[in-house]
Structure 1
Amino acid sequence: MTTPSTTQNLSASSRPAAGASDLPTTTFAGRTGMAVGALSVPMVALYFVYSGPPPQWNVLTRSLLTLVIMAVLTAFGVALARLLPRDDTGRRAIVGQLTIVSLLTYVAVILFAASLEAGTPLAFPDRGMDPTTDGPLAAAMALAHGPIAHLWIAMFFLGFARAAQHRGTAASPMVPRWTLRGAIVVGVINLLAIPSLYFGMDATHFYAINGWGADALVGLITLVWVGFIGLGIHRASPGRLTPRRPPAETPART
């Protein structure tokens, strides 16, 4: 005769363990994460090619690269959602859900800002305007590229560092420890960039809301570290790290 407790045990054993290995998803997450980091370098470099107003091709090219990066980052987020540990009921912890929602919200914010940025050369192709400092859309995108993006990506990094630590005793770590420590550092850096809201829009100032430091440099560090998270996931994939074993039981004394 099957008792309710036996039924619960059978259903629990039929569910995949929290953090169970998923090699195709792990491979996909690792590659998309590394692709985000690699693509971000030429994208940010395009912002520093010209000291004055950039030509239309420059703005449109970096906007197109931004679209591609955000598309790949979305794919990375979907794969990461499948890898974050779950409890015995199959539910992801609140911090894990916050991690994924924050990342996808960051993607939406950056797409909105990129749309505004590309709008300036499209609307005024012959005026030689820098869309990050000139025109009616520059001020509109400043908060999106700056404090809003910094806060939401900080929630992603800090949430990821917390959520990825919840692994079963016998499960392999999701990423190496250096990846989690770096995620915390990058998350804090983004939090420190949020007050740039009070330092104006002179792009030559390091801490301006659209400055080369608080905006461009922090943005580059952010996307590059997503690449390192992808590298960490790849290095911690099944077969590359030895799973942790539960501690041996101490024999009882007679």
Structure 2
Amino acid sequence: MGINQIQRITGAAAFVGAGCTLIELPLYFVYSGAPPDANVLTRCLLGMIGLTLFVVFMSGLAAVVRHRDPERAWFGSLAAAAGTAWLTVTFVSTGLEVGAVIAAPEPIDPTITVTGTYILYGTVSRLLEGLFLVAFAIAVTRWLPRWCGVTGGALAAVNFAFVPSLFFGNTPADFYAANGWGTTATVGGLTMLWLFAIGIALYRSAPKGTDQYGLSATSTRPSLIAARNRR
């Protein structure tokens, strides 16, 4: 499979996965109390579909960076590793929510009842997402539009700002709580919007012709040309 096709698949996986997750997020705010099981199971299923597509994105990202900018291949691998770790944590958190809802004899609010997800959705996810975003911003600077790296760095700072939220209780209605709507839904929603845009950028920037040297068709930077000539 050619690198251009891999880049298009990677981009498509990102924006479709983000789309699934953006549909999921509003379902958290439909009910003021404990939501019915169908609500929780539906939103978790949408989330898991999105996460599965993000696995494709992470794998493809490492491959694309390795071809587009060999000098920064390590940052691409770091972004993929941190991103996959974040996805694993989110899969576990979702599984804990679903298991608790299935086992409960009456409707529960898993964002409060399932205490194991507090730090997983909060501080742990913020650290891993932040690391992913920093590595991504460095890895793509020379072959994707400039805004991709700039917004990635800015969003990383937002994620790191919520790392101390574990000191501020467990009330979901509190913006900065460990499981608060700012720490989880707001930052998560911003990340999904960003991934949606990044997916489109990846898809649209893939050259339509044969990419013989694995470099962006618009790249003219000397370091990339030198990397091509060394092959």
TM beyond 0.5? yes
Which TM-score applies when normalising by structure 2?
Answer: 0.86
CA distance in 1, matches of 2:128, 2:57: 16
What is the aligned partner in structure 2 of residue 214 from structure 1?
183
What is the aligned partner in structure 2 of residue 96 from structure 1?
76
Q: Any gaps of 5 or more consecutive residues in structure 2?
A: 210-215, 223-231
Kindly name which structure, 1 or 2, has the bigger radius of gyration based on alpha carbons.
Answer: 1
How far off its partner does 1:132 sit? 0.7
Identity level (%): 31
Aligned 8 A contact 1:74 1:107 in 2: yes
Alignment of 1:144-159 (within 5 A): 144-159=120-135
Q: Given residue 120 of structure 1, which amino acid in structure 2 is its aligned partner?
A: A
Distance 1:25 1:201, change over 3 A: same
1:233 corresponds to which of 202, 206, 218 = 202
- 1:30 correspondence with 2:7: no
CA distance in 1, matches of 2:100, 2:221: 59
Aligned 8 A contact 1:29 1:230 in 2: yes
What is the aligned partner in structure 2 of residue 188 from structure 1?
157
CA distance in 2, matches of 1:71, 1:201: 28
What is the aligned partner in structure 2 of residue 17 from structure 1?
none
What is the aligned partner in structure 2 of residue 43 from structure 1?
24
2:112 corresponds to which of 113, 133, 136 = 133
Aligned 8 A contact 1:86 1:92 in 2: no
Q: Could you report, residue by residue, the CA deviation over 1:162-217 in whole angstroms, capped at 9, with x for unpaired residues? A: 1123x5xxxxx2x2111111111111111111111111001111111111111111
Aligned 8 A contact 2:8 2:204 in 1: no
How far off its partner does 1:235 sit? 2.7
Distance 1:178 1:197, change over 3 A: same
CA distance in 2, matches of 1:120, 1:129: 8
Three-state SS of the structure 1 residue aligned to 2:85 is helix
2:35 corresponds to which of 48, 54, 62 = 54
1:66 corresponds to which of 47, 50, 61 = 47
Aligned 8 A contact 1:99 1:156 in 2: yes
Aligned 8 A contact 2:61 2:76 in 1: no
Which TM-score applies when normalising by structure 1?
Answer: 0.79
Q: More deviation in 61-70 or 93-102?
A: 93-102
Three-state SS of the structure 1 residue aligned to 2:66 is coil
Q: Given residue 221 of structure 1, which amino acid in structure 2 is its aligned partner?
A: L
- 1:163 correspondence with 2:139: yes
Aligned 8 A contact 1:85 1:164 in 2: no
Q: Any gaps of 5 or more consecutive residues in structure 1?
A: 1-20, 168-172, 248-254
Three-state SS of the structure 2 residue aligned to 1:133 is helix
Q: How many residues align?
A: 215
RMSD, aligned α-carbons: 2.2
